[in-house]
Amino acid sequence: MRERLAIYCNVHLVSDATGETLAGVMRATCAQFDNILPVEHSYFLVRSARQLERVIKEIEEAPGIVMFTLSNLEHRALLEDACKAMDMPCVAVLDPVLDITSRYLGQELNHRVGAARKLNAEYFKRIDALDFAMYHDDGQQHIELSEADVILVGVSRTSKTPTSVYLAHRGVKAANVPMVPGVPLPPELFAKDRPLVVGLLISADRLIHIRRNRLVAMKETRAGSYTDEEDVRREVMDAQKLFEREGWPTVDVSRRSIEETAAAVLNLLAEHREP
């Protein structure tokens, strides 16, 4: 059977803010199509007609799909008219959601540029959570583990750090503690008043594959017990036994993305917080 060739597609992302929403929507959309490789053209913090004119010129030179989030009505009209003249598909990705919300609430939109990035208590909460995640990464400052919202525990290469950082962006203070053979875990993990502890599980075969790839990337030739099949399987089994003995909820990260792992942890945290 012949392998299907990849299809390249220009995607222009135009935003008057940081463009994070657009990037997320674009990648989620393209993931639903096989063999589609988007060529991303990003134009962020576009807040003047002159900037927009330069954007339109680049769109004309590389035809493709145009996705935008622009609050200024004149700029929206300018971009939409230009795309219509070029027969270019153009979509305001938030319009359907904003329209439904506006009608449900019975309120008009404020059309403030960058309103989603307004500095408020929630913003500073996320910054604090990110600082906490960095300060308590990989078992550091375990005396302060009681201040965490959640503690992730797992053997090496179970995505503890990136999951902690992702949770921090959701305003969750996440610490992570590695399970290292022969090294005792901090006693704070077993205190009665400890925060929620979540064990990160992974299949031995998947873990061996990840660790070997990491060593190759680091051009490291000495592997030892880090990738030895028997040792790795023992590590995984010991972790599972510990989680079961302590009654800690677990998340299997073997085939999960960071986002999926974080979502599962957030669900466990919501259950934990219920009275």
E strand or H helix at 191: none
Q: Give binding residues for ADP as ranges.
A: 154-161
Task: Convert the pLDDT of each residue in 16-73 to its tens digit.
Answer: 887 888 888 888 888 888 888 888 898 988 889 999 999 999 999 999 999 999 989 8
How deeply is 105 buried, as exposed, middle or buried, from its count of CB atoms within 10 A (0-12, 13-18, 19+)? exposed
What is residue 124's predicted lDDT score, i.e. its pLDDT? 66
Distance CA 20, CA 26 (A): 10
Tokens of 136: 């308590």
What pTM does this model have? 0.64
Which tokens go with 120?
């408020």
pLDDT at residue 261, as a whole number: 93
Residue 141: the pLDDT is 66
pLDDT in tens, 170-204: 889 999 999 999 999 999 999 988 999 999 999 99
Q: Which residues are 252's β-sheet partners?
A: 201
Q: What percent of the chain has pLDDT over 90?
A: 53
Give 102's pLDDT tier (boundaries 50, 70, 90). confident
Interatomic CA distance for residues 13 and 42, integer angstroms: 5
pLDDT band at 120, cuts 50/70/90? low
* Structural domains in the chain plus CATH codes: 7-117 (3.40.50), 121-273 (3.40.50.300)
Annotate 203-216 with b (16+ C-beta within 10 A) or e (fewer): ebebbbebbeeeee
Binding-site residues sit at 154-161
> What tokens does 172 get?
């969750």
Average pLDDT of the chain is 87
Residue 13 pLDDT > 70, yes or no? yes
pLDDT at 275: 66
What mean pLDDT do residues 210-224 have?
82
